[in-house]
Amino acid sequence: MDIFIGLATVLSSPALLGWIVSAAVVGMVVGAVPGLTASAAIAMLLPVTFYMDPLAALAFLYVIGKSGRYGGSIAAILFNTPGTAASAATQIDGYPLSQRGLSSKAMKVATVSSVIGDFTGEILLILGVGIIAAIALTLGPPELFAVYFAAFVVIGSVIGKSVVKGLASAALGVLIKMVGTDPISAAERYTFGSYELINGIGLVPLMIGMFVLAEVLSQMETRGAKIEKFDEPDSAEAKARNRLSWAEYKPCIPHVIRSSFIGAFIGMLPGLGSAIAAFVAYGEGKRRAKNPDEWGKGALEGIAAPEAANNAVSGPSMAPLLTLGIPGSTIGAILVGVFLIHGIQIGPTLFLTSRELVYSLFAAGLIGIAAYGLVGYFGASFVGRFIIKIPTDILYPMIFLTSFIAAYASRGSLFDVWVMVAAGVLGWLMKKLEFNPAAFVIAFVLAGGAEETFRQSLLLSDNGLLIFVTRPVALGFLLLGVLTVFIRARSLHREARAQALGDT
Partner 1 sequence: MDRRTFLQTTSLAGIAVAFSSQAMAEWKPRRPLNIIVPYKAGGGTDAYARAISAAAADRLPVPVVVVNKPGASGMTGAIAAASSKPDGNTIMLHSTGSFLLGSMLRDTKVGPFDGFKMIAQVGNLKACIAVPAGSPFKSVQDLVDAAKAAPGKLRWAHTGKGSTYHVSGQTFLNGLGLKAVDVPFKGGSAVRAAVLGEQVDFAVLGVQQGRGFEEKMHRLAVLADARDELAPDVPTFAELGFDIPIVSSPIIVYAPNGVDPEIISGIEAALAEIVAAPEFAKLVNTKGTLPLYRTGADAETAVRAMRESVTPVINALKGN
The least CB distance from residue 366 to partner 1, in Å, is 25
Query: Which residues within the stretch 249-288 sit at the binding site for partner 1 (CB under 8 A)?
Result: 270-271
**Does the CA dihedral 285-290-294-298 come out positive or negative?**
negative
The least CB distance from residue 315 to partner 1, in Å, is 19
Rounded to whole angstroms, the Cα distance separating 401 from 406 reads 9
Rounded to whole angstroms, the Cα distance separating 457 from 461 reads 6
Taking residues 327 to 346 in sequence order and writing x for each that binds partner 1 by CB under 8 A, - otherwise, the string is: x-----xx-xxx-xxxx-xx
Residue 289 has a CB neighbour count (10 Å cut-off) of: 19
The least CB distance from residue 412 to partner 1, in Å, is 8
Residue whose CB is less far from partner 1, 46 or 421:
46
The least CB distance from residue 444 to partner 1, in Å, is 18
Residue whose CB is less far from partner 1, 68 or 101:
68
Query: Which residues within the stretch 298-327 sit at the binding site for partner 1 (CB under 8 A)?
Result: 320, 324-327
Residue whose CB is less far from partner 1, 47 or 224:
47
The least CB distance from residue 340 to partner 1, in Å, is 5
Rounded to whole angstroms, the Cα distance separating 292 from 286 reads 6
Residue whose CB is less far from partner 1, 200 or 298:
200
Q: Which of 168, 418, 456, 487 contacts partner 1 by CB under 8 A?
A: 456
Query: Which residues within the stretch 343-362 sit at the binding site for partner 1 (CB under 8 A)?
Result: 343, 345-350
Residue 199 has a CB neighbour count (10 Å cut-off) of: 14
Q: Is 55 in the site for partner 1 (CB under 8 A)?
A: no
Q: Is 418 in the site for partner 1 (CB under 8 A)?
A: no
Rounded to whole angstroms, the Cα distance separating 205 from 203 reads 6
- The beta strands (E) that lie in 187-324 are given as 188-189
Rounded to whole angstroms, the Cα distance separating 391 from 119 reads 38
What's the longest Cα–Cα distance across the chain?
75
Q: Is 14 in the site for partner 1 (CB under 8 A)?
A: no
Q: Is 188 in the site for partner 1 (CB under 8 A)?
A: yes
Q: Looking at the DSSP assignment, which residues form a beta bridge with residue 188?
A: 181
The least CB distance from residue 47 to partner 1, in Å, is 7
Phi-psi category of residue 15: left, alpha or beta, with phi > 0 → left and psi -120 to 50 → alpha:
alpha
User: What is the four-CA torsion angle of 293, 299, 302, 305, rounded to 10 degrees?
Assistant: -120
Q: Which of 452, 454, 474, 488 contacts partner 1 by CB under 8 A?
A: 452
Rounded to whole angstroms, the Cα distance separating 289 from 157 reads 12
Binding segment (CB under 8 A) for partner 1, from list 15-23, 176-184, 287-295, 400-408: 176-184
CA distances from 386 to 30, 78, 389, 395 (A): 18, 11, 5, 11
The least CB distance from residue 11 to partner 1, in Å, is 29
**Cβ–Cβ under 8 Å, residues 83 and 226:** no
Burial of 179 (0-12, 13-18, 19+ CB in 10 A): middle
Q: Which of 127, 184, 469, 492 contacts partner 1 by CB under 8 A?
A: 184
Residue whose CB is less far from partner 1, 13 or 39:
39
Taking residues 194 to 233 in sequence order and writing x for each that binds partner 1 by CB under 8 A, - otherwise, the string is: -xx-xx----------------------------------
Q: Looking at the DSSP assignment, which residues form a beta bridge with residue 189?
A: 180
Residue 432 carries which side chain, given as an amino acid letter? K
| Residues forming the site for partner 1 (CB under 8 A) | 43, 46-47, 50, 137-141, 181, 183-186, 188, 195-196, 198-199, 270-271, 320, 324-327, 333-334, 336-338, 340-343, 345-350, 411-413, 452, 456, 459-460
